[in-house]
């Protein structure tokens, strides 16, 4: 049997993880030196209020020892193990998982850098389970996901660039404050790194730009909001529903770890 492991930025609820048989390893974050574990979607509490009332917030990748403990337990149960993590260009989780796999040195264990996160990571995890249930081997599932991740399946926008600038993950993207001109930058993850695509005027314009990135015929999409669900997420939902009236569209809380790096009020759109 193939056991699948991922991290808590994957966007799964507790029920979804249980149904898929996925082990979700929690990322951690500190708020004014108090440690917190990121939980399943919908179980993060009012992290927006916690962040807003704090002096310092920091996120932390999963430690190597945590991945090693999870991998060893699953291997000892007789499973092959595939771990799919948040992009290595966004977090150290992949390196931790890779180091754990190197230490265990098992041919029944593989670790994949997804190049994505949030809803796009969820889609990869779901694909892995579907392939495994269909009889594919660990090697076949790994190869399929390594190909599938090459396509951009997540776009996002932020109310301003402050949080991303602090994170050091912007690369060559200009450090403009979008809301001063009522412009929302629309970005994507390309091979794991952040790439700017376009700007949208106001929340509605931003939503239109995001919806335009989705390929024709898409039938399954996830909208991620970071912090309370606001006007940005609503406009993205309306734009997606207008373009894909028959598609399945789910709206989910993106969680505190990604919210810290994107900023409260950010919104993402992922598709299968």
DSSP 180: G
- pLDDT exceeds 70 at position 259: yes
- Give residue 182's pLDDT band: very low, low, confident or very high (50, 70, 90): confident
Q: Span 39-54, mean pLDDT? A: 93
Label residue 218 exposed, middle or buried (CB < 10 Å: 0-12, 13-18, 19+).
middle
- Give residue 164's pLDDT band: very low, low, confident or very high (50, 70, 90): low
DSSP 60: E
Q: What is the pTM assigned to this prediction?
A: 0.92
Residue ranges of the chain assigned to CATH 3.40.50.10440: 2-27+62-148
CATH number of 154-271: 3.30.1180.10
Residue ranges of the chain assigned to CATH 3.30.1180.10: 154-271
Residue 159 is predicted with a pLDDT of 79
pLDDT tens-digit map of 57-73:
999 989 999 999 999 99
- Categorise residue 124: left if φ over 0, alpha if ψ from -120 to 50, beta otherwise: alpha
Helix (H) / strand (E) element for 203: namely helix 202-212
pLDDT tens-digit map of 107-117:
999 999 999 99
Q: Which residues pair with 156 in a beta bridge?
A: 187, 268
- Rounded to a whole number of angstroms, the CA Rg of the chain reads 18
- pLDDT exceeds 70 at position 174: no
The architecture in CATH of the region 2-27+62-148 reads 3-Layer(aba) Sandwich (3.40)
* Alpha-carbon dihedral 147, 219, 16, 41, rounded to 10 degrees: 90
Q: Span 74-99, mean pLDDT? A: 97
For the record, the structure tokens of 199 come out as 């700007």
Label residue 193 exposed, middle or buried (CB < 10 Å: 0-12, 13-18, 19+).
middle
Residue 177 is predicted with a pLDDT of 43
């Amino acid at each position: 049997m193939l056991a699948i492991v991922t991290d808590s930025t994957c966007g799964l609820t507790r029920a979804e993880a249980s149904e898929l048989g996925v082990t979700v390893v929690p990322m951690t974050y500190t708020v004014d030196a108090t440690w917190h574990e990121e939980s399943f979607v919908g179980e993060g509490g009012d992290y927006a209020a916690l962040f807003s009332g704090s002096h310092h917030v920091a996120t932390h990748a999963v430690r190597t020892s945590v991945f090693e403990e999870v991998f060893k337990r699953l291997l000892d149960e007789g499973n092959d193990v595939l771990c799919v993590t948040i992009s290595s260009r966004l977090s150290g989780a992949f390196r931790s998982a890779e180091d754990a796999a190197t230490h265990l040195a098992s041919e029944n264990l593989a670790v994949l850098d997804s190049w994505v996160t949030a809803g796009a990571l969820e889609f990869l995890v779901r694909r892995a389970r579907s392939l495994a249930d269909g009889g594919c081997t660990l090697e076949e599932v790994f190869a399929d996901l390594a190909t599938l991740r090459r396509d951009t399946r997540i776009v996002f926008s932020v109310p301003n660039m402050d949080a991303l600038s602090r994170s050091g993950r912007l690369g060559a993207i200009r450090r403009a404050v979008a809301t001063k001109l009522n412009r929302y930058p629309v970005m994507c993850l390309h091979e794991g790194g952040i790439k700017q695509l376009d700007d949208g005027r106001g929340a509605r314009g931003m939503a239109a730009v995001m919806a335009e990135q989705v390929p024709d015929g898409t039938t399954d999409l996830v909208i991620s909001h970071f912090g309370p669900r606001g006007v940005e997420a609503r406009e993205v939902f309306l734009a997606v529903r207008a373009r894909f009236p028959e598609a399945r569209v789910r709206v989910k809380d993106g969680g505190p770890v990604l919210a810290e790096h994107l900023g409260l009020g950010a919104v993402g759109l992922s598709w299968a």
